[in-house]
A and B are shown apart, each in its own frame.
Chain A
Amino acid sequence: MEQYEPDRLSPAQVAAMRRSLRGGRAAMTRRSLLRASTGGALALGGLGTLSACGIPAAGNTQGGVSAEDHSAKEKVVNFSNWTEYIDVDDSEKHHPTLDQFRKRTGISVKYTEDINDNVEFFGKIKPQLAAGQDTGRDIIVLTDWLAARLIRLGWVQKLDASNLPHAYANLSAQFRDPDWDPGRAYSYVWQGISTVIAYNKKALDGVEVKSLSDLLDNPRLKGRVGFLSEMRDSIGMTLLDMGKDPADFTTDDFDAAVARIQKAVDKGQIRRFTGNDYTSDLTSGDFAACIAWAGDVVQLKADSPDIDFLIPDSGYITSTDNLLIPNKARHKTNAERLIDFYYEPKPAAELAAYINYVTPVDGVKAELAKIDPDAANNPLIIPDKAMAEKSHPFRSLSSKEETEFEQKFAKLTGA
């Protein structure tokens, strides 16, 4: 796209291009000009390509495709994150940590909350990334299995370690070496997620719950148990309950876990497989107990005294949401500086105090104790030793396994 032959453009276009090359504000003109001239070509070429459309093969871009880094000229970074996943001030307009970052570095952050769901977001950015185009985003936050897929497809850029001194020094040991990104070459953790069992004391009505088996088997909970529609959380917790290791299991183990849940579905034990909407079922008491994300439970617990959680003796599933720089991002260095900023204990503590997920940064506890002593002692935010020992990641899957397992799990959930 960058090398246009001037003699194929009209004189007016050439003049516009010359003007634009002088940079500054006019750079906009150049981009829109290029867009306009490719738009016409696309309209003509579109019909031709459709007859043999297909989707081009991915995976031939290992190591990621960088664009020209505009970080030095354009002091911005485009940050796409999940909703309600960052600190906000009382006016709900400003994000204090992002403001600090701007004051310190002069880089302003265009913060967008446009990720609601991993699979939907993947569907949204896939066309651009598959075609090798800029998504308009410099940082995206994705759950580990999807981050693994993007790395596998070669759709994200390798990080420059020299821009990430704090991140390298302060990343907690338990997050350092995931099997899908050893040594964190492509990704850093935004927050850790613990998958636990949550329950509503009032709805339980005296039924004792200690493990996932109670949820799957106790007839007094019939039709009032919730499982998550995220395959890794539901299957992972079941594998743990069956004494298997979710970090190292076979297809047979997976099938056994599916069969175990299927039995509960057939009995009518499980009411629904839910996404984030389990929170309303749990507070209303329609779910007496369910598999839940600890970050939500901290919040629900604060709002309702009936809600509490438990960590089964067999352990719990831990996963991460990860910061990634997609291919062709225009402000890679700025993005890396922002990632590094959140690995300084002070901003990390301010973030942790606000959003209640597991912080991936070592040395946060002392800083967090100054802001919110309760949070600093909450093992769901800063895991203590006992908590850390019970945490189990779900192993990464090959693309073939992923399809096969998702198929089987989908059948379990009814479609």
Chain B
Amino acid sequence: MSTLTEAPPPLTPTAPEKKPPRKRGRLVPYWLLLPGILWLLVFFALPMIYQASTSVQTGSLEEGYKVTWHFATYWDALSEYYPQFLRSVLYAGSATILCLILGYPLAYLIAFRAGRWKNLIMILVIAPFFTSFLIRTLAWKTILADGGPVVGALNTLHVLDVTSWLGMTSGDRVLATPLAVVCGLTYNFLPFMVLPLYTSLERIDGRLHEAAGDLYAKPITTFRKVTFPLSMPGVVSGTLLTFIPAAGDYVNADLLGSTDTRMVGNVIQTQFLRILDYPTAAALSFILMAAILVMVTVYIRKSGTEDLV
């Protein structure tokens, strides 16, 4: 580089008076970043390093744990618990798709058709967040109780025969089956889908719809060619915000599921708290993180959108 261009003459000595205010201005962004960076350092980076270190340690509570670079823990954890990993992806994926199917029309309605009810409907979407996650999930146990009206109706309509055949329920109940877990996940993460979708849809200029109509596009074509592509950033961020936490969730599988619905979050919880196998728990967390990172990267590449809101 130095052979091609001469180093530019130093500029600073020429304007020493002007420098202080400019310097302060230049530093402002860094000062603004500082709290966030410190926060991430202490509550994200340090725990990550700590967990990474834990995952390659060996030992026991009595003898203490030492870093022995025992990478075999990763392989052992994966070969032992791959069914739970696959289940997590399957359940979180199903819940995400269900959220999209339920959330898109809802967000569309709020953005374009709700008129003066807009704020009220938004509040209704967010209102469940005023109570705790645990209470909301427990409420589903009452709603889906074996003798309850919901399960009764599903039985009368023979819906449960179909889901039983698909392996999503067993017998004439919903609770303690995969279906219950997927429903719980869908319910709990629906607002994370609706809000970004709404933000994306709301920004679409209504005149684009008129223009499409002027060009003789049918409503369905307008949706396919105009509305949906423009809402892609919302779809992408909504699916990410739903899929990522759902894949790591363990509360729904614990309260609404049974022995054959345990997800990887349950395994991590058991390993960490009950069996006290900290290295395996840490390794499982990293495998989950890596798997999600890969899936998300591929997904964002394929979806062809650069904005995420």
Contact A123 B173 (CB under 8 A): no
Which of chain B's residues have a CB closer than 8 A to the CB of A63? none
The residue from B54, B62, B278 contacting A399, defined by CB atoms under 8 A apart: B62
Q: Which of A13-53 contact B (CB under 8 A)?
A: 46, 50-53
Chain A nearest CB, measured from B14 CB (Å): 41
Given contacts A119-B274, A403-B276, are A415 and B176 in contact (CB under 8 A)? no
Contact A271 B176 (CB under 8 A): yes
B50 within 8 A of A: yes
Which of chain A's residues have a CB closer than 8 A to the CB of B267? 415
Which of chain A's residues have a CB closer than 8 A to the CB of B277? 403
Chain B nearest CB, measured from A332 CB (Å): 25
C-alpha gap A273/B258 in the complex (Å): 7
Bitwise, A391-415 to B at CB < 8 A (1) or not (0) is 0000000010001001100101111
Q: Which of A156-164, A280-288, A335-343 contacts B (4 or more CB under 8 A)?
A: A280-288
Give chain B's interface residue range (CB within 8 Å of chain A): 35 or more
Chain A nearest CB, measured from B53 CB (Å): 5
Q: Which of B104-112, B137-145, B300-308 contacts A (4 or more CB under 8 A)?
A: B137-145
B67 within 8 A of A: yes
C-alpha gap A223/B67 in the complex (Å): 45
Which of chain A's residues have a CB closer than 8 A to the CB of B57? 54-55
C-alpha gap A272/B142 in the complex (Å): 16
Contact A414 B138 (CB under 8 A): no
Contact B141 A284 (CB under 8 A): yes
Chain B nearest CB, measured from A47 CB (Å): 8
Which of chain B's residues have a CB closer than 8 A to the CB of A414? 258-262, 266
Q: Which of B260-292 contact A (CB under 8 A)?
A: 260-262, 266-267, 270-278
Contact B141 A223 (CB under 8 A): no
The residue from B67, B84, B260, B262 contacting A54, defined by CB atoms under 8 A apart: B67
Given contacts A46-B46, A265-B259, A403-B276, are A55 and B65 in contact (CB under 8 A)? yes
C-alpha gap A59/B62 in the complex (Å): 6
Which of chain B's residues have a CB closer than 8 A to the CB of A12? none
Bitwise, B30-50 to A at CB < 8 A (1) or not (0) is 000000000000000010011
Contact B64 A56 (CB under 8 A): yes
Contact B270 A410 (CB under 8 A): yes
Which of chain B's residues have a CB closer than 8 A to the CB of A215? none
The residue from A119, A123, A272, A406 contacting B258, defined by CB atoms under 8 A apart: A272
Q: How many residues of A contact B (CB 8 A)?
A: 41
B166 within 8 A of A: no
Chain A nearest CB, measured from B112 CB (Å): 41
Chain B nearest CB, measured from A145 CB (Å): 11
C-alpha gap A273/B67 in the complex (Å): 35
Which of chain A's residues have a CB closer than 8 A to the CB of B81? 415
The residue from A222, A285, A407 contacting B146, defined by CB atoms under 8 A apart: A285
Chain B nearest CB, measured from A234 CB (Å): 12
C-alpha gap A30/B139 in the complex (Å): 49
C-alpha gap A153/B266 in the complex (Å): 27
Which of chain A's residues have a CB closer than 8 A to the CB of B272? 123
The residue from B63, B255, B275 contacting A406, defined by CB atoms under 8 A apart: B275
A58 within 8 A of B: yes
Given contacts A53-B67, A403-B275, A415-B266, are A284 and B258 in contact (CB under 8 A)? no
Contact A280 B141 (CB under 8 A): yes
The residue from B64, B141, B171, B257 contacting A281, defined by CB atoms under 8 A apart: B141
C-alpha gap A307/B139 in the complex (Å): 21
Contact A407 B275 (CB under 8 A): yes
Which of chain B's residues have a CB closer than 8 A to the CB of A412? 259
Contact A271 B66 (CB under 8 A): no
The residue from B61, B171, B262 contacting A415, defined by CB atoms under 8 A apart: B262
Bitwise, A352-365 to B at CB < 8 A (1) or not (0) is 00000000000000
Given contacts A272-B258, A414-B260, are A54 and B66 in contact (CB under 8 A)? yes
Contact A271 B275 (CB under 8 A): no
Contact A284 B145 (CB under 8 A): yes
Chain A nearest CB, measured from B2 CB (Å): 36
Bitwise, A264-296 to B at CB < 8 A (1) or not (0) is 010010111100010011001110000000000
B245 within 8 A of A: no
Which of chain B's residues have a CB closer than 8 A to the CB of A58? 61-62, 64
Contact A285 B67 (CB under 8 A): no
Chain B nearest CB, measured from A180 CB (Å): 15
Contact B63 A57 (CB under 8 A): yes
C-alpha gap A399/B266 in the complex (Å): 23
A interface residues (Cβ-Cβ under 8 A, vs B): 46, 50-59, 119-120, 122-123, 152-153, 222-224, 265, 268, 270-273, 277, 280-281, 284-286, 399, 403, 406-407, 410, 412-415
The 5 closest A-B pairs by CB, nearest first: A57-B64, A414-B259, A414-B262, A119-B273, A415-B262
